[in-house]
Chains A and B, each alone.
Chain A
Amino acid sequence: MERSFESGPFAGDDLAVVRGGRAVFAGLSFSVSAGTALRLAGPNGSGKSSLIRVMAGLLRPTGGELRWGRAPVREDPEGHARRLAFLGHSDSLKSTLSAGENTAFQLRLRGIEGSTRTAALARAFESLNITSLIDLPAGWLSSGQRRRTALAGVLASDAPLWLLDEPTVGLDTASVTALEGAIAAHLAVGGMVVAATHTALDLGARVTDLDPATCARKTASLSDLGDGWGVA
């Protein structure tokens, strides 16, 4: 990866998410600048996935604001989507398409075409040691292989911001090391990584830890947040 990113810090101010009348978290602020990582830790159900979905723009926060540099993200959601690569809970692979076709589709969704796509795809599969799986239908892969194929889509993308929700689920030690290498390379060229994980994953030296659950306790009153978001 010889490219480098020029990107203003990605930050959230006073974010709150209320689901089903319960505050998942509130008063949460974070900032990620170029070359740094943010680890979302905390027990199951602490709001890590919700926060990552908020960061991706998939979930609208009940309160607070996301900013990229100085510009609010909600003013340009499409532009925000283009600068991030998202790995969710599920691998979003179609079992009748081959691993390579699945990743190629993700890259086509980002507008990456032609030889750039082929090269980026080959490099990502190579770095995760799954080159041999490229032509296998995703339905034949084991869960760890599926996870790595989904990760390849993130690695091959040209996005400065990686949002990874439990990236290490199902990965063996060698694959975790390969992922750590890819993350280090991404951070070295000025990328940003946000990873929700409760396993050991080395995100480099410039990493901040954040536990959404500790923010939820700060919530004084739900009524300050509600805009009809199912606040009971």
Chain B
Amino acid sequence: MGRFWAIMSRDLTLARRQGADLAMTVSFFVVVVVLFPLGLGPTPGQLAEIAPAVLWVTALLAAMLSFDRLFQQDAEDGGLDQLALSGLPLAVVALAKALAHWLTTGLPMIVLAPLLAITLNLNTEAYGALILGFVLGTPIVSLFGTVGAALVVGARRAGVLVALIVLPLTIPVLIFGTLAIDAAANGLPIRVHLLMLSAMLAAAIPLAPLAAGAALRQALE
């Protein structure tokens, strides 16, 4: 357990010291969302309608910016060898990495999404669903992204490749995340959508690290 926290806390320290990487992902999220009200002009009704999709799609795209560096640096400087020799299964290493990624990327987005929703004139009833959807959905994105990042270790243009691999996988998250917000805005129950997201998260927590661990093993050889 100590080694798990060691990996996670080192990644958090690295993220803090290399603050620009983190700031870029979060700024991308903010800037792109803010472009929509500017592009659509003063049509509050239209904005409120597209708000769920804009928030979710932008969050997914912003997350894609952060995955290529998840294992790339370790693969280049030999750190991956040391992680593989920690005596921890590579799946557990991947889980620690995914958790650190979520804390540095997902968590800031959960905080920012409701603030950005104001600029999109989101229905006040829908904020709860937005936040809950992000709380359940962003860890799934981090876990799927970890698999993608592990698969592209050593590949050229890894950043684009990881987006092409991971974005299709996140479609269910996008669908149920936006459905939950839509339902809440229209006064419909959101429970079923959140349960679907919870089920996906419950499946992703054990399965995604296993897949990422297997991909890392391939990368080592």
Chain A interface residues toward B at CB < 8 A:
56-60, 78-79, 81-82, 84, 86, 88-94, 96-97, 101, 105-106, 108-111, 113
Contact = CB atoms under 8 A, between A and B. Distances in A.
Given A58-B81, A92-B78, A97-B17, A110 B86 contact: yes
B6 A105 contact: yes
A111 B81 contact: no
B3 A89 contact: no
B188 interface: no
Number of chain B interface residues as a range? 20 to 34
Contact of A56 (B7, B76, B85): B85
26 contacts: A59-B220, A59-B221, A79-B87, A81-B86, A81-B87, A82-B87, A88-B81, A90-B76, A91-B78, A92-B78, A92-B79, A92-B81, A92-B82, A94-B10, A94-B14, A94-B79, A96-B17, A97-B13, A105-B6, A105-B10, A108-B3, A108-B6, A108-B10, A109-B82, A109-B83, A110-B86
B159 to A, nearest CB: 20
A12 to B, nearest CB: 17
Contact of B220 (A58, A92, A94, A105): A58
Contacts, number: 74
B85 A81 contact: yes
Nearest to A93: B77
Contact of A58 (B6, B10, B18, B221): B221
B2 interface: yes
The secondary-structure label for the interface of chain B is helix
A91 B204 CA distance: 34
A15 to B, nearest CB: 15
A84 B82 CA distance: 11
The secondary-structure label for the interface of chain A is loop
Given A59-B220, A97-B17, A86 B6 contact: no
B214 to A, nearest CB: 13
A57 B84 CA distance: 9
Contacts of B3: 108-111
B17 A86 contact: no
Q: Which of A82, A91, A109, A111: most chain B Cβ within 10 A? A: A109
Contacts of B2: 108, 111, 113
Given A96-B18, A111-B3, A88 B78 contact: yes
